[in-house]
Chains A and B, each alone.
Chain A
């Protein structure tokens, strides 16, 4: 069987995003440059009482953004719809050939939101009378299937649910699928809609900050939950050049590791995260890294461990920031959303800041670019995503002139 060929370069030829700060790249980047976050009062679950009450929701009406009929949309989950909107933007930008195009999606909840509604209806009406049509879209394979069907993609589907590392893993898996020539194009990213189970679950784990999250700050108390979707269009470099596609960035490396430490907490020494970053940089042939888009969740444990990992892998002088301070933790989608942010940062030569970082914590000793974006020359940037179960993924992107 063909192994992934390390000499094949991977081009990013399209990017699409929807999250709390915007419905597309342009809106999202404008919010980044204006230091404007998307964190507000939680509105999606009226009548429910949670210990905290803020979130980074997608407040936009999704219907006008969808390239499908209302009838089709009614059968799909919110995660499917967010995925279709982001994929639509990415595919429109790249206009890739579709016959051997795969969809690789990372999601942690899939259609769990609709699953919950089905469950509640069942309690009231019994299992024979609860409508089963939308619960069909509950499996975590559904966003990939929905995107592939909407855009008539014939290459295959490849979903993963590796908690918050899912979308990063999807992008890495897609790149190696292209490198082993099992497909010609990959629509790779992630999607996750807010749902009650995760909102409640992170609260009972006491991992949610009652105020908007402040990654790396002394007063940080946890995450802010968000939702969204993002996709990249990936192609082999030579194919992209041959068909005259505009190349936005290069995906230069992918590293994946596991802490093998604890079901929910990261290894405190950051060794697993360090291994993922080193692996990503190793694929990039030991290039110098100019910026790290951190996982930066805002929990005590993550930000401390990630600081240690970055220090060990890249050094103490590297500028680092957490764009989760804008759009919260989009869980399974975060690797995709933040990959798009990293690609945009390289193109604009502008590093997004960490909002609300007045005083960095004693165990957070790096340059976290507080409050406002920083114009700076960047050739290579890492994007980190780590998840429950100790799964770590790091992606290395390179600037293309």
Chain B
């Protein structure tokens, strides 16, 4: 059977959802996020190298180091890297623009510019471990990490690489937090909404008959054509299509699914559409539903952490949903 084994996992997980103390939320409606706390990247990255990395890269490289240590062998040179991030290093762009405004366009620091590209974390990982396969950074909002996993798994099966590092990384920044707050997307006392989170999870994928954690066994994609640029859409059929495609791709039947890690993030109208879709697909025989974003918060780190959480489940076939604002949907099936 065609499936991709996961043989290493590394995680930089956020702590509990709590009041944001990293930046000032005064004057904003929302105040909570799932932030990474008490994280010491020095445990994973040499000091000289760390100086060249922003927070996003530090999360990603640390998670990759843990995943590779967990894998326990040297990765082949022909290893690909596919990382998902919804917003990338927004804080680095903000820092660059601050210098640009203060010092002028000709005197802003080149190091910040180099680190402002979304693929900086993936690049650091390739350099650190000499990985010369494909190196792609997928940026499809909430679905980024699962879309990255889909691409990497296809390349492992195709044989264009011998292994791949798959993952997601996100940093909660003042800029993103305040803009989402302004448009009313975040959870506060008055309204339903999402809590955003940060961190990283990395997984080592390869083609092998045995797996330490489990297998990526199927993917399905679709798009809800009723979605606007800032909305998740209202058509459950698009979600049903993506879920069914993923289950078909895994050569399973709907009845074989034991649990669904839902995409639900606390935005009621989007959660309701997903609930309808799940009811439509599974009918009377409803599998266990797990809302992991209640722990991890929203965005690409959550996508990768959901994948890890599903792989750490004791048994069974698990469907993972990832639904994006803008209408993009990616579903994955992991099996033991």
| Mask of A246-273 contacts with B, CB within 8 angstroms, 1/0 | 0000000001111111111000000010
Pair B154/A263 contact, Cβ less than 8 Å: no
Nearest 8 pairs between A and B by C-beta?
A389-B123, A201-B113, A145-B326, A156-B221, A3-B157, A256-B134, A161-B118, A258-B135
Pair B132/A272 contact, Cβ less than 8 Å: yes
CB contacts under 8 Å to B, within A148-165, are 148-149, 152-163
Knowing A49-B105, A182-B220, A279-B160, say if A197 contacts B96 (CB, 8 Å): yes
**B65 located at the interface, meaning its Cβ lies under 8 Å from any Cβ of chain A in the complex:** no
Besides A140-B139, A157-B140, A256-B136, 6 new A-B residue pairs in contact (Cβ under 8 A), listed by A number: A1-B249, A135-B179, A154-B238, A176-B154, A205-B113, A257-B133
Least distance between B22 CB and chain A CB atoms (Å): 16
Least distance between B87 CB and chain A CB atoms (Å): 6
Knowing A1-B3, A157-B328, A258-B134, say if A149 contacts B97 (CB, 8 Å): no
Pair B105/A162 contact, Cβ less than 8 Å: no
Number of interface residues, chain B, beta carbon within 8 A? 89
Knowing A1-B153, A132-B182, say if A390 contacts B97 (CB, 8 Å): no
**A333 located at the interface, meaning its Cβ lies under 8 Å from any Cβ of chain B in the complex:** no
Least distance between A219 CB and chain B CB atoms (Å): 23
Pair A158/B138 contact, Cβ less than 8 Å: yes
**A173 located at the interface, meaning its Cβ lies under 8 Å from any Cβ of chain B in the complex:** yes
Pair B139/A204 contact, Cβ less than 8 Å: no
| A204 / chain B contacts, CB cutoff of 8 Å | 106-110, 113
Pair A197/B100 contact, Cβ less than 8 Å: yes
CB-contact partner of B110 in A120, A148, A205, under 8 A: A205
**B321 located at the interface, meaning its Cβ lies under 8 Å from any Cβ of chain A in the complex:** no
Q: 17 A-B pairs, CB-CB below 8 angstroms?
A: A1-B3, A3-B157, A49-B104, A119-B97, A127-B27, A128-B27, A137-B229, A140-B139, A141-B140, A142-B326, A157-B140, A161-B88, A161-B119, A163-B117, A200-B100, A256-B80, A391-B119
Least distance between B278 CB and chain A CB atoms (Å): 19
Cα A139 to Cα B221 in complex, Å, equals: 20
Pair A157/B326 contact, Cβ less than 8 Å: yes
Nearest A residue to B238 via CB reads A154
Least distance between A176 CB and chain B CB atoms (Å): 5
Pair B123/A141 contact, Cβ less than 8 Å: no
Pair B132/A155 contact, Cβ less than 8 Å: no
Pair A4/B154 contact, Cβ less than 8 Å: yes
| A29 / chain B contacts, CB cutoff of 8 Å | none
Which of B194-202, B211-219, B286-294, B311-319 lines the interface with chain A?
B211-219
**A75 located at the interface, meaning its Cβ lies under 8 Å from any Cβ of chain B in the complex:** yes
- In terms of DSSP, what is the predominant structure of the interface of chain B? mixed
| A196 / chain B contacts, CB cutoff of 8 Å | 97, 100, 105
| B158 / chain A contacts, CB cutoff of 8 Å | 3-4, 6, 176
Cα A42 to Cα B3 in complex, Å, equals: 51
Pair B229/A389 contact, Cβ less than 8 Å: no
| B306 / chain A contacts, CB cutoff of 8 Å | none
Indicate the member of A50, A120, A169, A199 with the most B CB atoms within 10 Å.
A169
Knowing A258-B132, A387-B119, say if A148 contacts B126 (CB, 8 Å): no
**B250 located at the interface, meaning its Cβ lies under 8 Å from any Cβ of chain A in the complex:** yes
CB-contact partner of B139 in A76, A160, A255, under 8 A: A160
Pair A139/B141 contact, Cβ less than 8 Å: yes
Cα A2 to Cα B81 in complex, Å, equals: 20
| A76 / chain B contacts, CB cutoff of 8 Å | 229
| B140 / chain A contacts, CB cutoff of 8 Å | 141, 144, 157-159
| B224 / chain A contacts, CB cutoff of 8 Å | 154
Cα A144 to Cα B141 in complex, Å, equals: 11
**A381 located at the interface, meaning its Cβ lies under 8 Å from any Cβ of chain B in the complex:** no
